[in-house]
Amino acid sequence: MDDLTKVSFTNLEKILFPALDLNKSRVIEYYIRIAPLMLGSLKNRVIVMNRYPDGVNKDGFYEKDAPKGIPQWVYTFNTYSEKAHREIDYVVCNDLDTLLWMANLAALEINITLSTIDKYDTPDLVFFDIDPEPPCSFDDVIDIALLLKEKLDELNLRSFVKTSGKKGLHVVLPITDNYNFKQTREYVHQFGKFLARESDIVVSEFRNSRDPGTIFIDYLQNTRGKTMIAPYSLRAQPQATVSTPLEWRELKKGLRPEEFNIFTVIQRKNDPWEGLMESKQSLEVE
Amino acid sequence: MKNIKDSAKPSHRPVWSGSITIGLVNVPVKLYIMIRDQAFSFRLLHKEDGQPLKYERVCVKEDKVVDWKDTVKGYEVRKDEFIVFKKEELDAIRPESDTRIRLDKFVSLLSIDPIYFDNSYILVPDRSEEAYSLMMTVIAQMGKAGMGKVTMRTKEYPVVVHEYRGALILTTLRYANEVVNPSGMEELSQLKKPGKKEMELAEKIIKDLSGEFDINEYRDGYREKMEKLIETKMKGEVVVAQVPKKEEVKELMVALQETIKRLKK
């Protein structure tokens, strides 16, 4: 396709977001336009794609293994998967062409690991998944996120926040390479317990995570090979929402996660997560 | 006996079954394909959208597509002049497919000129192991091949049956009128007899280059290149099932140009 990309785009008219009448070419265009903000956080990380070849109203599928017919120029990383009990070739997205190749596969949701392939067993991100259960409102989620930030600020830790693209918020701490996943998992779990003491609506344990009207501080993704939705990834939601990095000051009551979607996010000029990878910090853990 | 390194894979189903008959002797056999053409075949696609093309029968006068059921066969006697045949007329003279390979003569295998060989099939015993083995062993030991004929798929062929690598092989032959006789060719009628010295020199060259026949010394270089090319293409590009509308692509290219500019900063 000209000299601009190695990818041959196919099935561009396929409708992927029926409620908005958005076809695949709009999805590819989104990823083209968001690439300058997005590529940095994908770099050297294992990618797990959620593909929706028949659109968001039909079932999608996870794709961990590099799919059949993968172009030679797509970089892959081979490692053992505990879950699959075998070695897997994972896709790594370090350039625009790979991102567009994934977009062309209708990989609407792009997930990344919390470690890089240089040190796959050592997390470089701590991930707090603030996950509400109805009838909790997004205002409640903002309250809890700000409470968490306050606590992290007290510890002199710089934290970064993004919408999940669904109902929750994600808070991330970039860390130095002195910790293992067990420690980061426990670290987040401890914060969950602390927040549960501070707030009636927070639950810290997985068994309570589906209790109505609660907010679960999900620590379980802090595990080797597990992923979070990448910053600026689309979500397979009817409104084509985006998991959007925000400035902390943007978190104000009345904000709705649907405001950050395929149409609005490409208007954002600055990346609130810029400099995240240069802000590695030490944690105080036992 | 040398191994055939790159031999083609055997097929699972026989193409024909019947028996070899020599007078009243009867050896039931099944016939398997032996020769596999390894040529690549391409589908013809529409250049613009990559979709496969179909062939249609178009009447040259009306320029209209004609159904199969509205066709008859014609034999062209002179250019654009045809004798028309009905299906029944053609069926009436067509030989019936036979279930017998009738052998009536045994000749020395080496006396058959390879010019006449057409296509070969492997014969395997069809619950007739004893008779099959006897026939194979005896003709192999005597260096003989059985001559005869068979009718397959409504065509009658002269055939030869011989032993090869522990199997009986049936080879269909060309009819005499299918093979051009070279002695009538003008360029060949004025050949001079070579001199003694030249003969000696040529004999020496040939002796120096003499060796055993080994088909494995020859490789289909084009095929190997083609296989490699197909492999790389399959890795490199998703097969284009449907090519996008032009305007859609144009919009994406504009966005791409902007993004590439931003990424270079």
Supply the pLDDT for residue B99.
81
A239 within a domain of the structure (yes/no)? no
Q: Kindly give the parts of chain B with pLDDT less than 50.
A: 1-4, 238-239, 241-243
CA distance A244 to chain B (A): 19
Q: Which of A7, A13, A29 to mutate: most B Cβ within 10 Å?
A: A29
- Whether residue B218 lies inside any domain: the answer is no
The verdict on A68 and A133 lying in the same domain is no
> Looking at CA atoms only, how far is residue B237 from chain A in angstroms?
6
pTM above 0.80, yes or no: no
Show which of A218, A237, A266 is a domain's final residue. Answer: A218
Give the count of domains, chain A.
2
B57, part of any domain: no
Residue A132: CATH number of its domain? 3.30.70.3300
A91, A47 contact by CB (below 8 A): yes
**Cα–Cα–Cα angle for A257, A263, A265, nearest 5°?**
60
How many angstroms separate the CA of residue B125 from the nearest CA in chain A? 44
Per the structure, the complete domain to which residue B157 belongs is given by: 19-38+96-178
Number of folded domains in chain B?
1
> Residue B70 carries which side chain, given as an amino acid letter?
D
Domain shared by A32 and A65, yes or no = yes
Q: CB-CB: which of A10, A33, A70 is closest to B240?
A: A10
Mean pLDDT in consecutive groups of 10 residues from the start of chain A, 286 residues: 79 91 93 94 95 92 83 91 85 96 96 96 96 92 95 94 96 95 95 93 91 94 95 96 96 92 90 90 78
Question: Residue A104 sits in a domain of what CATH number?
Answer: 3.90.920.10
pLDDT at A209 (0 to 100): 87
Q: Kindly state whether residue B26 falls inside one of the protein's structural domains.
A: yes
CATH code at position B160? 2.40.290.10
How many CB pairs below 8 A link A and B?
70
Report the pLDDT value the prediction gives residue B237, as an integer from 0 to 100: 55
Measured CA to CA in angstroms, residue B15 lies from A199, B117, B262 at distances of 80, 19, 65
Residue A258 lies in a domain: no
Judge: A10–B232 Cβ closer than 8 Å, yes or no: no
A25 contacts on B by Cβ (under 8 Å)? 244, 248-249, 251-252
Quote the minimal CA–CA distance from A36 to chain B in Å: 6
Cα–Cα distance list, B242 to A102, B51, B167 (Å) = 18, 7, 50
Q: Mark whether A182 and A146 lie in a shared domain.
A: yes
> Where among A101, A118, A135 does a domain terminate?
A118
Q: Tell whether A41 is covered by a domain.
A: yes
Residue A158: its pLDDT value, please? 94
Instruction: Pick the residue of A5, A14, A15, A28 with the most B CBs within 10 A to test the interface with B by mutation.
Output: A28
Residues in chain A closer than 8 A to B255 (CB atoms): 29, 32-33
CB B123 within 8 A of CB B168: yes
Together in a domain, A42 and A136: no
> A169 and A80, same structural domain?
no
Q: For residue A282, is it within any domain? A: no
Rounded to whole angstroms, the Cα distance separating A186 from A119 reads 20
A154 and A113 both lie in a single domain: no
Written as one string, the DSSP assignment of B57-109 is -B-TTT--B--GGG--EEEEEETTEEEEE-HHHHHHHSPPPPSEEEEEEEEEG
Torsion angle of alpha carbons A218, A224, A230, A233, nearest 10°? -90
Indicate if A160 and A96 belong to the same structural domain.
no
Domain-embedded: residue A50: yes
Q: Which residues, 6 or more positions from B45, have their beta carbon under 8 angstroms from its beta carbon?
A: B51, B52, B53
In this structure, is residue A182 part of a structural domain?
yes
Claim to verify: residue A160 and residue A212 sit in the same structural domain: yes
A20: domain range?
15-118
Interface touch B260/A9, C-beta < 8 Å: no
Mark out chain A residues that contact chain B at CB-CB < 8 A. Answer: 1-2, 4-6, 8-13, 25, 28-29, 32-33, 35-36, 39, 69-73, 96, 104
Query: Å from A172 to nearest chain B CA?
Result: 25
CA B263 centroid distance within chain: 56
- Of B22, B19, B14, nearest in space to B128 by CA: B19
- Strand duo B16-22 + B100-108: pairing: parallel
| Residue B240 maps to a domain | no
Q: Distance (Å, rounded) from C-alpha A15 to C-alpha A24? A: 6
Domain-located, residue B220? no
Contact A13 B232 (CB under 8 A): no
Are A71 and B256 an interchain contact pair (Cβ–Cβ within 8 Å)? no
Domain annotation covers residue B199:
no
Whole-Å CA distances, A228 to A96, B23, B155:
20, 82, 69
State which of A218, A234, A262 marks the end of a domain.
Answer: A218
